[in-house]
Amino acid sequence: MKDPVKACADRASESAESKRPRHIAIIMDGNGRWAQARDLPRIEGHRRGVETVRMVSETATELNIDAITLYCLSSENWKRPKAELEFLMHLLEQYLIEERRTIMDQGLRLKVIGRRDRLPENVIKEMDKTLAMSESNPGTQLVLAIDYGGRDEITKVARELAREVAAGSLREEEISEERITSRLYTAGLPEVDLMIRTGGDMRVSNFLLWQLSYSELWITDTCWPEFTRENFLTAIDDFALRQRRFGGLNVNE
């Protein structure tokens, strides 16, 4: 019997390049629930989730995906218990240090989106070091959304444009979708083609609200720590089979 992971990989590789997602966004949900279901502390779910991040970045590199954006910490996550937040910051710092070799070996270009002012200085220091090291890498862009909120991002852009209009350096009629897109954290990245959410919840949770306007959604009940390469390839395979009309008709209809 053919290995199901290889079967998915074969189908993905057989799909035309134009049918593959160029940019995949992922809501990595279910770490805490996965741990609690096994009578483990919630932080163990976050620790295990790092292994899934490594797998996803490796697979995206193999398939020449242009970019993957991972929802690591939302602006609402600061409401969580202090001990869990401190562990998340420690885990992030550890990831930025320990994954440097993997990032460089895979040719990944790291990018971080979201606010920086609430992050610990030690995290920012390691973040900037890894960003600088990988900025010339030619491969997949690995985008980490940290202290990120979609409404906050759009509000930030709206304030910038309002100030420019008030100062007379921008006319109101010059505000366009393209101009707004160029001011977002994701400026320069391809449009998000596919959004994957693990953990089963049917919502976008304030993630890339502008960027997900025409994205295909793929949601699984599987929690992030147990999200496999087969799951990831199945999502990509499913995307390749979808007909994307963007409000119009399919050319074959």
CATH at residue 228: 3.40.1180.10
Residue 212 lies in a domain: yes
Place of tokens 């390839």: 233
Binding site for Mg(2+): which residues? Answer: 29, 216
pTM of the model: 0.89
| C-alpha–C-alpha distance, residues 67 and 61, integer Å | 9
More confident residue, 72 or 245: 72
Is 161 within a domain?
no
Catalytic, 231? Answer no
pLDDT at 246 over 70: no
Q: Per residue in 117-165, pLDDT tens?
A: 999 999 999 999 999 999 999 999 999 999 999 999 999 999 999 999 9
pLDDT at 71 exceeding the cut of 50: yes
Exactly one of 77, 137, 152, 238 is catalytic; name it: 77
Q: Does residue 233 fall inside a structural domain?
A: yes
- 253 has pLDDT over 50: no
Domain count, the chain: 1
Catalytic-role residue among 29, 147, 193, 237: 29
Binding residues: 29-34, 42, 46, 74-76, 78, 80, 197, 203-205, 216
Model pLDDT, residue 181: 98
Structural domain that includes position 91: 22-151+191-240
Cα 96 from Cα 106, distance rounded (Å): 15
In a domain, 216, yes or no: yes
Examine the residue annotation and report whether 77 is marked as an active-site residue of this protein.
yes
How far is the C-alpha of 188 from the C-alpha of 253, rounded, in Å? 33
The whole-number average pLDDT for the span 167-175 is: 97
- Beta strand pairing call for 194-197 and 141-148: unpaired
pLDDT at 167 over 80: yes
DSSP tag of 224? G
